[in-house]
Structure 1
Amino acid sequence: MSEEDQQAILEALKIAFTYMPQAIEVNKYEYGDRYQLVLQHVETVRETLLINGIDPDEVDGEVNGDIAPNSSY
């Protein structure tokens, strides 16, 4: 796999992550019996981003820079 392909995959993962719920939003009321699986999926994506040197907490601002609030730091 080329470096360009890897970058495209990471960009797609970052975009998908912006549409995922935040872990704090995942509960049994909203997701039923699947809530633990949803939490695992969110954590798997967060870990993959971190392994690749991407801060998951900054992804939304990166992907949606035109609508994201300015960082306070």
Structure 2
Amino acid sequence: MNMEKKYQTAIEAAIAGGKEILKIYHFDEIQVERKGDNSPLTQADKAANSKIIQFLDKTDYPIISE
């Protein structure tokens, strides 16, 4: 995959992840979990993470995420 295609994939992933976040923020109540270091992890974080991984799995970039 050439660099231009990788950049395009990253941009599309960011946009798709943002759309997932916006879907969650229209809910009346947002569920928040706590990670081992006590930092918050929301439904929006998880949804965006899942969507972004769908895009990045198509690249050779290593994925470090939720």
Q: With the length of structure 1 as denominator, give the TM-score of the two structures.
A: 0.34
What is the TM-score of this pair, normalised by structure 2?
Answer: 0.37
More strand by share: 2
